[in-house]
């Protein structure tokens, strides 16, 4: 038997719910390549000051910090 893929929450911005009125929520995956995969699996990231910008060909997150 192989490993089962499980979805788990990597980061959550609790302060956004305190500072803003959240009308809609969207859930999305991100494509990762390189060393950031291991850091995220260990939970070493911060989305505290980040935001998502919708551009022509997709959505991009800006200001997210992933430890090396």
Task: Give 9-57 pLDDT, tens digit per residue.
Answer: 778 888 888 898 989 887 777 777 788 888 888 888 888 888 888 888 8
Q: How far is CA 12 from the centre of its chain?
A: 8
Which one is predicted more confidently, 8 or 20?
20
Which pTM was predicted?
A: 0.60
Domain edges within the chain: 32-68
What is the Cα–Cα distance from 48 to 14, expressed in whole angstroms?
9
- 53 Cβ contact partners less than 8 Å away, ≥ 6 residues apart: 59, 60, 62
């Amino acid at each position: 038997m192989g490993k089962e893929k499980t979805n788990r929450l990597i980061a959550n911005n609790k302060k956004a719910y305190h500072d803003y009125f959240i009308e809609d929520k969207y859930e999305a995956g991100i494509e990762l390549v390189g060393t950031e995969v291991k850091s995220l699996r260990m939970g070493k990231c911060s989305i505290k000051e980040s935001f998502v910008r919708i551009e022509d060909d997709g959505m991009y997150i800006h200001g997210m910090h992933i430890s090396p």
